[in-house]
């Protein structure tokens, strides 16, 4: 098992956006993760993007998985294009 505790739909919310993001990303990239759980992780992972962007995480680190990097790059671009409230 990965050193990162896998999240389930009934798990407690992680304490930090980075912890939640990393755990969700690991689970989404694991080929053994059922598709239903992978789809459930998407909104949790995407919900962390504004906080991680504000912290400058994506300016400091690059995601190694090309598909995840492209998908999140598109999502971050949409966030950037949205008007601030």
User: How many independent structural domains does the chain possess?
Assistant: 1
With respect to residue 2, please indicate whether it lies within any of the assigned structural domains.
no
Mean pLDDT value across the chain: 85
Secondary structure of residue 42 in the 3-state scheme: helix
**Between residues 85 and 16, the one the model is more confident about:** 16
With respect to residue 55, please indicate whether it lies within any of the assigned structural domains.
yes
83: pLDDT strictly greater than 80:
no
pLDDT for residue 85: 58
Report whether 8 contacts 37 (CB < 8 A): yes
Question: Which residue in 26, 50, 49, 46 sits closest to 7, CA to CA?
Answer: 26
With respect to residue 3, please indicate whether it lies within any of the assigned structural domains.
no
Q: What is the pLDDT of residues 36-77, one digit of tens each?
A: 999 999 999 999 999 999 999 999 999 999 999 999 999 999
What domain range is 36 assigned to? 17-81
pLDDT for residue 84: 61
For residue 29, give every residue at least 6 positions away whose Cβ sits within 8 Å of its Cβ, in sequence order, or none: 65, 68
């Amino acid at each position: 098992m990965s050193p990162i505790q896998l999240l389930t739909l009934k798990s407690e919310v992680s304490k930090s956006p980075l912890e939640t993001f990393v755990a969700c990303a690991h689970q989404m990239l694991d080929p053994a993760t059922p598709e239903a759980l992978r789809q459930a992780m998407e909104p949790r992972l995407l919900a962390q993007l504004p906080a991680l962007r504000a912290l400058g995480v994506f300016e400091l680190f690059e995601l190694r998985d090309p598909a995840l990097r492209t998908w999140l790059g598109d999502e971050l671009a949409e966030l950037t294009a949205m008007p601030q409230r």
